[in-house]
Structures are given as structure tokens and as C-alpha cells.
Structure 1
Amino acid sequence: MRWQAAPSKLFCSSPPDGNNTPPSMLRHLTSKIKATGPIPVAEYMREVLTNPVKGYYVRNNMLGPEGDFITSPEISQIFGELIGVWIISEWMGAGQPKQLQLVELGPGKGSLASDVLRVFSQLQSVLGGASVSLHLVEVSPALSLLQAQNLTGNRSQEADAEDDPVYRRGETDAGLPVSWYHQLDDVPTGFSVFVAHEFFDALPIHKFQRTEKGWREVLVDIDPEKPDTLRFVVAPAPTLASTSLVQADETRDHVEVSAEGGVIVQQLARRIIEDGGAALIIDYGHNGTKTDTFRGFKGHQLHDVLASPGSADLTADVDFNYLRRMAGGGVACLGPVTQRTFLKNMGIDTRMQVLLRNCSDPSTRKQLISSYNMLTNPAKMGERFHFFSLLHPSRLAKPQKPEGLKLEKKKSPAPLPVAGFTELKFA
């Protein structure tokens, strides 16, 4: 499972899983390195995961029991339902604007979006006449087709024009419009709530090592003694990344920085400031304390990041301190808080009581209890995953005193009908 943690084997070379003939992605990478020299880890990740021809995310459906990892929305629909309640709460706190765009980055199979939309449907009396639409940012053709099937059935089609920023359109059973994009910038402006669940951990990272001569970037190179094997090396001289991405007051000896993640957070912050809305980032991560977290997953097991590139998922813990810094001071950043804390604050215990009270089938009850344990147990996902939000500054009250350091959240203009939520049907 993707939430398991283990250090990656930095500076260890990795053979290509015993194949005599190097896989196509490995051949592509070795050709690239021979032509240009060792490449940054960020470039390695980008090629391995999102190369338009050979990339792991482009070619594979990697989710679920038969894939390489499983995510919270696949474990229980309660996870998505509670996020749906949070979204409606933020929409209400913003004054119930007439437009609500739900934007999901890296939507997987579409399970999370489906559960959120079901909450929207069953709390329609709260949403009133608001215009609701779903916008999915997805680079994988294989996953976009799966999302379309799960969310729209046969009611979607590819865009006619190649230059259309929307490459697929459809609608749900309830008639809500659904659009697919390759990048966040293509999503229309307007009041939006952005959700990114296990999205930032797959964004390319640069790795840096402190040396006697200063910070040096960690690169991926070919092992001179094994031409079909990749290895990590340290750049002999400063690179543009090592001189611009490492903070001057950094105290760690090894640092991972996702410049791409920083850019996306800046985009989210700008849109929230200009158009209103909020963003919820859910991932495993830390507050600028960890060092080497780069690792691979294949068949729900840890996998050497340099072995058989393109056959396994690559991931690294999210540095929430870096995201907070990149968001700037224009938005309010809350968290990170643990998944256990967030779900309990959103009422998962009440929801579970209702479901168990209305469930007489022993096997279903066992599944409910098991999924609850997986999501909230500190030894499992409960403290492994964290929730981090970006809010419009209007959602926070100003401190009463100049010396006050804590900002308190404003109350929503109307209470969320929890009783109505607890009566949601379990599908």
C-alpha cells in the first residue's frame, strides 16, 4: 500500500529486475543520459511517471487490489462523504456563492469525486440553486477513461478540436457537467474548491546533499560498470536548482524540494485570492523535518526507485512547510492535521454509528469496522496522512490584540444540517 513508509536506497545502484534486454523506459533514459549527462531526480521522476508514450501513469491503471497501491476513497465511501461535507461547509462560509466548481487534481478512478457528488445530491436543499460543476485535472488517458465510465457512464466524449483545453466532456446521472483538463491553468475561473488527494507526493522532486563545498544536487547516472543499471551520483559543482531551491537557513544535510509542487500551490493561492474558494491537500508529508523519503511501490510492496523504471509508482513525502512558504501571505494556510483528527472533527464517528445501526449483515458490519480502523488507526492511515488547507483570508477573523498570534476561523453563516448528513444512504 502506498501509505507504507521506508527510506529509499540512496546512492545504491539497481539492476533492471533480471531482464537481459533493458525495458523501453530504461533504454530511453540511458540514451538521454548518454546524450546530456546525469539528469536531476526531478527529470527522472517526470519521465518515468508522465512521459507521454512510456510513462507509468500514462500507460497503467495502478489503483486498487490488482494495482500497485490503494487509496482512502477506495477503502470507504465515508472518506469522500466527509470531504463533501467540508466542501459544502466552506461554500456556506463564503456566503453561498451562486457558482461552485469542484476541481480535483489527480482524481484516480473518480471514487472521491463520486462520493462528494453523492453528498451534494443528498444535501441539495443546502446547495439550493447553486450551479455545480466538476473539473478533473488528469494527465493519464487510461485513468481519464476509467473516471469517465465511473462518473458519467456513456455520457462523455472527447473534444473535437486538439487545441481545446477541455479534452473530454460529459455529465453525471444527475446532469452535472464534468470536464477534463491536462493542467490546472486550463480550468475556468470562478469560485472553486480544489481537492488534491495523493497528488503532490507524485510530483517531481529535486534532491540535494550538503557537502564540504556546499549544497550539491543528487543526479541519476548510468553505472559505468553495468551499462543497463542506473545509480545516484552527486553533482561535482552547483546547479541552478541547488543554488535557488535550498533555503539559506536549512539545517538538514539532505533535502527534497518539489519546485513543481510550489508552482501549483502558487496557482491555487492566486485563484483563491482572485475568485474565492478553498483548497484541500491530502497526503503523507512533514513540516520541513524529513530528509530522504523518495521511494517506489509495485504490487503493494516497496520497490527500488531505479529498478525497471516505468513499472512502479514513484513517490516522496510532501513538505508542507515548503508549500506554506510558496503559498505566500495572501491566503490562510491551516494544518497540516492528521487524517484521524480531520475525519473525527468532520463526524466520522457519528456517521459510523448510523451506518452500523442500520446494517444487519455481519459481513458488511465487519467491512465497515475494518475500513474505519484503516482510515483512523494511528498505526495505519490515521496519522500517516495529513490534511492541509488554503483558505481565502475572509474566512479568518482578525486577531483581537496586536500580540495575538492565532487566527480563529469565522463561523459559517448557517449550521450544516448534520442530521441530514447522517441519514445519507450507504451505497
Structure 2
Amino acid sequence: MRMKVCQQLLSRAFSHRVNSYAVRRTTSDIPATGSPKAGRWSSAQSASFCSSSAEDRKARPSMLKHLSSKIRSTGPVSVSEYMKEVLTNPVTGYYVRKNMLGADGDFITSPEISQVFGELLGVWIVSEWMGAGRPEQLQLVELGPGRGSLAADILRVFSQLQSVVGGASVSVHLVEVSPALSRLQAETLTGKRNMEASSEDDPVYRQGETAARVSVSWYRRLEDVPAAFSIFVAHEFFDALPVHKFQRTEKGWREVLVDIEPADPDRLRFVVAPTPTLASSTLVQADERRDHVEVCAEGGVIVQQLARRIEEEGGAALIADYGHDGTGTDTLRGFKGHQLHDVLSTPGSADLTADVDFSFLRRMAGGGVACLGPVTQRMFLKNMGIDVRMQVLLRNCSDPSTRKQLISSYDMLTNPSKMGERFHFFSLLHPSRLAVPKKPQGLKLEKKSPAPLPVAGFTELGF
């Protein structure tokens, strides 16, 4: 039954758009030099760091000056504090002041490569909403929504499935700290049908509606999103949250800090704390076997919030990011102009990112929700029916250029050497979604217990 439902959703969602499909995002405009640069997924071992030019170092000295002043006043700062300042400082932070996405930015993400990606996630959301019993209210909550492309593609699926989701009150809630990106998202989703809040203290700092009259609201914090049945989507969100770095030494675990280079006051360097810090004493697991560990405490807090809301209000969360299941060590790196960039060079001019530790997220989610994954992006998309979708598109596409772009985008998303096995999907579900149905009283129990309902994307559904 579950398999048939997902197949029907795919058929309905895409049947009206086969002949009108157009590839509006492609990797063809990304610079062709260096290592692969679609997404923030290049390994630090596969390419050299970009060297910083004199012009670049002079371009934005304020962040370096701010950090240097802070270090001189209070001593070396944690890597977590460094990342938080560099990325989200309200004046000169990378995410606050810059549109970093696309061929002209520093990286490109899966929703920008092919809208099929967002369409399949839209089918997953509708499937989970149906699996939860079709609640009257459906909140789509996206954390770090980029340009709004993913939300737009998901909403398009909702519109194609009006006969299915039409009975629900659908609303979109975007958690975004960047004013520049929120304006792009508003243009993508609402056109001119949006307005900023009159007060900076208003938790909803921008509000609007789509052409289909779906309400869209913007927040700076997850806790400001109204409590209701929600499907949370976080695509390349957790990798940008600040991490603490720890190093095993002869004297025990020590935190890695950022300090000023003594020989050059205009440069920064990594140092190891001589004594334990509060973070090194509390965040490293007692049975940790690795010699170098990165812990995203902020990510753990957010996962706890998601888990609590799902347990209390119902819903699900889908986290898509590159990461590992408790095996990664030194993964912190920078990206600038689709090239790897020294994380301590010209702070504020490049994106900083670290692989997501899914084992840590699972541990922080606790026992109140069910955790599935991580599974590779290739497996998730194939389980969701990307092969069937692409076959239909290619069969009905006569334009050679569009066919080439379709094949290229499919390869980028699913090829194991590209995004296919670099990115992973991880989900939090209400425990009732995986509960084994109880047998009616008076009937003999079978020798084999019935299997839990399969969850789209994480279980082979036979598409």
C-alpha cells in the first residue's frame, strides 16, 4: 500500500509538467578549473587552498581587525566562536552581507542544479504528511533556505497534488539570518507580495504570500516558528553551524583555538589550549577513539528542538548534508569562488563549513523520535524515483541542449564520485510512523511480526 501511494504521488505531481519542463539551473556556468565545485563537497585533500592576494587582504580588513582586537583583549578564541563571528557577525558576517550562491558566488547547491531534486523532496513531504494521518495544518519549515529554490520546487509539487493536500492549510516558514538572502527568497517565492516588519523586535521580520496565496514568513530563530504539525527541511544548513575542534594530547583532550600569528599580526593561526577548557571537558565522549574531533554544539541544540517539536506536535525533519556517521576527524574548510580556501585567511570573505557528524545528531535527538539514516544522496534520490522521473523527461524532450543539461544534472546529483555519495540524508520521525500495527484481538499471531511501514527515500520502494 505504501509503495502504491508514493508511486501515485510521483505520477500525479509530474504528469502535468513533462512537456513543459525546462532546466533553469545547470553546472555549466561554474568555473571549469581545479577540483569539482558543485556544492561545498570537495575534499581538502583533493585540491590546494586558494592563496590570498594583497588586494583581497585589503578588501575587507574590518573582520580581521575585529577578531585581532578580540584576541588581544581576551586571548585565543575557540574555532566555534571564530566561525560564528566570521559567518554571522551582524555587520561584516559572510552570510549577513553576501549572496554567496550560484556560479558567481562561492558554491552551488543541489536545488540550484536541478529542480527534480526539490520535486522529489516535495513528494517525500507529502508522503510523510499522509503517513501522519493528513493533519489539517501543514507547516513547511526550511532552515537556511538559500535562494528559495528548494521551497519553490516543493510548493510546485503541492500545487500539482491539490487533490491530495488541498484539504490542509499549508504555510511556509523560513529560518534565515541573512537579510540579503531573505530578499532573494522573497523575490523567488512571493515576487513583490511581501513586506518587512515595522519593528526589529518582531519575530516575523518579513511576511508575504505566493501567487497561489500560500503564506510565507521569515524568522531569525527556529524557536519563533509557531508550534504546529511541521515538516522541517535542512539542506546544507548544519554544515555551516560553528564547530568546536579538539585534539587528543599526552595530557588528555585539548581544544584547538585561533590566535594571532606572532611573526605577522595580520595573520591568524591555530593553537592547542595548554589546559582543559569547559568545552573539552564536556563535549568529548568518554569512549571517543579518534585523535581529532569536531563537535557542533549548536547543531545538537537545534536537533533537540526539532525532536521535541516533532514528539509534541507531530511531523518530521529531513536533514540533507555532507557528513559522516562518527568517523570524520579534521573536516573544517573554506570555499571561495568554488575553490578551497584557507579558513584563517581573509576572514569574512569565504564560506566556512565542516562535515556533519550524524552520529552526534542521533545521540542528541534522544529516544523520543525515530532516527533514520544517514543514507547517501544517490540512494535517497533513487529510492524516491529519480530514475523514472529522468526517463520520462528524456523521452519527452526533443531539444538536444536540454537533454544534455538533464543528463549532466542527473550525473552531478547521483554520481558516487560527485554529489551522489558525498551528501547524505538523515531523518527524524514521530515514533508512531514506524510503529508496528497492532493485531485485532482474537486472531492468531503469525510467527513473523509484520514489518513497519516503509519510509520513502530511506527504504527501497521499487520505483
Considering the TM-score relative to the shorter chain, is it more than 0.5? yes
User: 1:98-137, aligned counterparts within 5 Å?
Assistant: 98-137=136-175
Q: Paired residue for 1:18? A: 54
Q: Distance in 2 between matches of 1:195 and 1:120?
A: 15
Match among 26, 51, 65 for residue 103 of structure 2: 65
Q: Paired residue for 1:415? A: none
Q: Paired residue for 2:239? A: 201
Match among 181, 187, 207 for residue 143 of structure 1: 181
SS for the counterpart of 1:333 is strand
The question of whether the paired residues in 2 share the 8 Å contact of 1:269 and 1:327 is answered with yes
Q: Paired residue for 2:122? A: 84
Deviation at 1:107, TM superposition (A): 0.2
* Structure 1 consecutive aligned stretches of length 4 or more whose deviation exceeds 6 Å: none
Give the unaligned 5+ runs of structure 2: 1-36, 439-448, 456-460
Q: Paired residue for 1:365? A: 403
Residues 15 and 297 of structure 1, relative CA distance in 2, 3 Å threshold: closer
Give the unaligned 5+ runs of structure 1: 401-405, 413-417, 423-427
Q: Which moved more, 1:40-49 or 1:354-363?
A: 354-363
Q: Paired residue for 1:52? A: 90
1:42-99 Cα shifts (integer Å, max 9, x gaps): 0000000000000000010000000000000000000000000000000000000000
For 1:363, the aligned partner's letter is S
SS for the counterpart of 1:188 is coil
Match among 330, 333, 349 for residue 368 of structure 2: 330
Q: Distance in 2 between matches of 1:409 and 1:54?
A: 49
SS for the counterpart of 1:236 is coil
Residues 242 and 43 of structure 1, relative CA distance in 2, 3 Å threshold: same
How many residue pairs get aligned? The number is 406
Q: Distance in 1 between matches of 2:335 and 2:426?
A: 24
Residues 407 and 102 of structure 1, relative CA distance in 2, 3 Å threshold: farther
For 1:78, the aligned partner's letter is V
Q: Distance in 2 between matches of 1:51 and 1:262?
A: 21
Q: Which moved more, 1:293-302 or 1:389-398?
A: 389-398
Deviation at 1:397, TM superposition (A): 2.3
TM norm structure 2? 0.85
For 1:330, the aligned partner's letter is G
SS for the counterpart of 2:421 is coil
Q: Paired residue for 2:297? A: 259
The question of whether the paired residues in 2 share the 8 Å contact of 1:8 and 1:293 is answered with no
2:74 matched to 1:29?
no
The question of whether the paired residues in 1 share the 8 Å contact of 2:203 and 2:219 is answered with yes
TM norm structure 1? 0.92
User: 1:28-427, aligned counterparts within 5 Å?
Assistant: 28-398=66-436, 408-410=451-453
SS for the counterpart of 2:419 is coil
Q: Paired residue for 1:403? A: none
Match among 35, 42, 53 for residue 4 of structure 1: 42
Q: Which moved more, 1:354-363 or 1:68-77?
A: 354-363
Residues 86 and 407 of structure 1, relative CA distance in 2, 3 Å threshold: farther
SS for the counterpart of 1:226 is coil
The question of whether the paired residues in 2 share the 8 Å contact of 1:98 and 1:131 is answered with yes
Residues 84 and 64 of structure 1, relative CA distance in 2, 3 Å threshold: same
The question of whether the paired residues in 1 share the 8 Å contact of 2:245 and 2:256 is answered with yes
Q: Distance in 2 between matches of 1:15 and 1:120?
A: 46
The question of whether the paired residues in 1 share the 8 Å contact of 2:436 and 2:452 is answered with no
Q: Distance in 2 between matches of 1:103 and 1:359?
A: 34
Q: What is the root-mean-square deviation of aligned Cα atoms in Å?
A: 2.1
Q: Distance in 1 between matches of 2:42 and 2:173?
A: 30
The question of whether the paired residues in 2 share the 8 Å contact of 1:280 and 1:389 is answered with yes
Residues 15 and 225 of structure 1, relative CA distance in 2, 3 Å threshold: farther
Q: Distance in 1 between matches of 2:393 and 2:299?
A: 38
Q: Distance in 2 between matches of 1:322 and 1:72?
A: 24
